[in-house]
Amino acid sequence: MMYLWLKALHVAAVLCWTGGLLTASVTIAARSTRLAGAASERTAAMEFLSRWDRRVTSPAMLVAWGAGLALAMQGQWFGSVWLTLKLAIVFALSALHAVLSGTLRRLAWSDAPSVPSWLRHVPFVIIAGVAVIATLVVVKPF
């Protein structure tokens, strides 16, 4: 029973985390290709997103990690190939989240700094990562 509650918490946290991650990445990608609107509006939008990241997306990531590790221990999933692969992708997504979070903070300060061009591709990387994770968890092919 406890396992199902943990699973529900994990899925809810993952939805909040990936939603915030996608929003941040798409906004930064739009910023790197010149977002419409006045500079002050753009900075205000970045500040709002940065605050959202601190208060919602980052805590959601921590809950997803905590509940996920508890689930893996309870279900004795450690050692499975699918979980090892999933963990590698989650590490990569977490690192990307840190980059996006720092970039949002920098952009919230001023409109001047440029954004690395590779960040434009991050939304697609996130979607691909989430799709592979969903497949690994649901199908458990290995």
Which chain residues interact with other proteins by CB under 8 A?
Answer: 47, 54, 94-95, 97-103, 105-106, 108-110, 113
Between 6 and 101, name the residue whose CB sits nearer to other proteins: 101
Residues 61 and 14: their CA atoms lie apart, in Å, by: 7
State how far the Cα of 18 lies from the Cα of 34, in Å rounded to an integer.
Answer: 24
Strand, coil or helix: what is 63?
Answer: helix
Rank residues 54 and 140 by Cβ distance to other proteins and give the closer one. Answer: 54
34 sits in which H/E element: none
CB of 1 to other proteins, least distance (A): 25
Of the pair 88, 141, the CB lying nearest other proteins is at 88
For the CB of residue 89, give the shortest distance to other proteins in the complex, in Å.
Answer: 15
How crowded is the C-beta side of 56, counted as CA atoms within 13 Å?
15
